Structure 1
Amino acid sequence: MPPRTCLCGLPASYQDCCGRLHRGEAAAATAEQLMRSRFTAFGVGDEAYLLRTWHPSDRPQRAGIDRRVKWVRLEVLETTGGSVVHTEGTVRFRAHYLERGRPGEMEEHSRFVRLDGRWVYAGVV
């Protein structure tokens, strides 16, 4: 069951925020919005969305969702480019999780590009 409040950190319900993107009712307008929706997809276990939004040149066969990890909070630390007028952008973020009840965090600087008019994840900077 999806969370009521969106995991991405924006003040909206999951259904009205990242849920719309996951269901294909909307596309991410910015690289940051795509990154937030991908974080949430890991949290709700939406592997199909993760694969759909991964650049085909390095898309894995599986997204590698670990059900033992519960993603709990996201901090966006920095963005470059990635707006509605850009074709490339980066987002540096810190993702907080619980694994077997123990808190942890991971930090990544991700690259995003527009492919056929849509933002896709293009790997780590």
Structure 2
Amino acid sequence: MPPTSPVTSSPGSRSPANKPSADQPPPGNTPRGTSTAVARPADPCAAQPIVGELDNLSEYLHDAKATVRECDGKWAVIVWDVPGDSQRIIRRAANRWTTYVQFPHNVCWAKASADGVPAQLRKYFTC
């Protein structure tokens, strides 16, 4: 059998040299079993990560079921399924959640608004 020379081609041609091999996907495709999906950041309003970051949290609240309401990623209302009033308004500051007020509280809306509390949380302020 006579020797063959390798096939070469220019980038725009459609010769066999430009076809992807079995172990190399065509441009724009990924091999099976791999993903090009970009990891999404965790939900900033998910209860468990918030509980893990909160300051001044009694130990018994770490294991109680928490529910986050009216969260915009910067401000939220959180409450635990425990006896008594466990509700808090919390805010995201310096890459962690902190307590703004614990219920019951005596912070008036004028102060809260000046502190940046969003209007959607006004109903939680009685004066």
TM exceeding 0.5:
no
Larger relative contact order (Cα-Cα within 8 Å, sequence gap ≥ 6): 1
The normalised TM-score by structure 2 is 0.32
- The structure whose residues are more often strand, as a share, is 1
